[in-house]
Amino acid sequence: MPIPGETPAGRLCQNVNMETAEYDLMFAIEMDYWWHVGKRWFVLRLLKRWLNPPPGIAILDIGCGTGANMKALGAFGTAKGSDISESAVGYCRARGLADAHVQTDPGKLPFPDGSFDLVTALDMLEHVEDDTELMREAARVLKPGGAFLLTVPAYPELWSVHDESLHHWRRYGRKELSARLRLAGLKPVRLTHLNGFLLPAIIPVRWLRDKLTRKRGPTSDFNLNLPRWLNAAFLLAFKAEWMLVRFVPLPFGLTICCLARKD
């Protein structure tokens, strides 16, 4: 079920050295860069508000990257992670996260049926060609009644060199994301946009960067070397959305966050 605006441009980015460079960058900045810090901050608060999980639950972070999110999720219970990149899993283990596993097949999680109370996929599904298959895998490893929390980039119209650099296959609309979850046997119960307050500033910057850098090859927004004061200001603006999101869904923003349940 293709999404309007879906593109195979991710095929242009299958460069091992480029991938390794992005993981190196992620490990270097994800504890400080405003977008990583803000998303992790929101994920933890939305889990408490939407799910209120009991202590000691079993958690799987699919596409755990270099491990900062997986480590934070450990506050709710026992967190495991999987990623197809050996570099990413190596960085997880450097953080002391022994339960990070290499996932050799993108469509097959290395865990038995019904293993987890909570599965997360935080800005991960856009990296997979068959995202519905991976959602089915998430449902398979969930216990009955278990929860699946995901974040994905919004608006197919905003496709740019940033997406190509990060090996994305697509950006998502709300309706298309909900439809794919249902096809996978998961019921969306909560959905909000995030990173909306900064949208008027980010759209023109991303458009301009796309025009200026595309000829030199893919490069993500995370390569921007922001001054500390600007990084702090962006994080403050991002967190300010909590004043609304804690009560009502935000109808716009660069990220979609959704909680789904397995029946």
Query: What pLDDT does 212 receive?
Result: 66
| Assigned domain for 1 exists | no
| Assigned domain for 174 exists | yes
Residue 11 has pLDDT above 50, yes or no: no
Q: pTM for the complete prediction?
A: 0.87
| Assigned domain for 2 exists | no
| Assigned domain for 96 exists | yes
Residue 47 has pLDDT above 60, yes or no: yes
**pLDDT 10s digits, 238-258:** 999 999 999 999 999 999 999
Q: What total of structural domains would you count in the chain?
A: 1
Quick one: which of 5, 2, 4 has its CA closest to 160?
A: 5
Model confidence at 23, in pLDDT bands (50, 70, 90)? confident
Percent helix, strand, coil in the chain, to 5, is 45, 20, 35
Query: What average pLDDT does this structure show over 110-121?
Result: 97
Query: What pLDDT does 214 receive?
Result: 58
Quick one: which of 220, 212, 230, 169 has its CA closest to 23?
A: 220
Structure tokens at 193: 């946009």
Query: What pLDDT does 215 receive?
Result: 58
Structure tokens at 136: 């089915």
The CATH number given to whatever domain includes residue 195 is 3.40.50.150
| Assigned domain for 82 exists | yes
| Assigned domain for 3 exists | no
Residue 106 has pLDDT above 60, yes or no: yes
Query: What pLDDT does 232 receive?
Result: 96
Contact by Cβ (8 Å): 187, 260? yes
Distance CA 67, CA 64 (A): 6
Quick one: which of 152, 90, 165 has its CA closest to 123?
A: 152
Which residue is it, tokens 């702090």? 232
Q: Which range among 82-91, 190-199, 200-209, 234-243 shows the weakest confidence by mean pLDDT?
A: 200-209
| Assigned domain for 143 exists | yes
Evaluate the CA torsion angle 117, 99, 169, 154 in order and state its sign: positive
Distance CA 219, CA 93 (A): 27
Q: Which amino acid is at 96?
A: G
Residue 203: domain span: 8-262
- Contacting residues for 201 by C-beta, under 8 A, at least 6 apart: none
Say which residue, 45 or 162, is predicted with more confidence.
45
* pLDDT, averaged across the chain: 87
Quick one: which of 65, 67, 69, 72 has its CA closest to 23?
A: 65
Residue 74 per-residue DSSP state? T
Share of the chain above pLDDT 90, in %: 70
Query: What pLDDT does 217 receive?
Result: 54
| Assigned domain for 113 exists | yes
**pLDDT 10s digits, 55-102:** 999 999 999 999 999 999 999 999 999 999 899 999 999 999 999 999
Say which residue, 205 or 32, is predicted with more confidence.
32
Residue 135 has pLDDT above 70, yes or no: yes
Query: What pLDDT does 35 receive?
Result: 92
How far from chain centre, in Å, is Cα 155? 15
Helices assigned H by DSSP within 95-186: 131-141, 161-165, 174-183
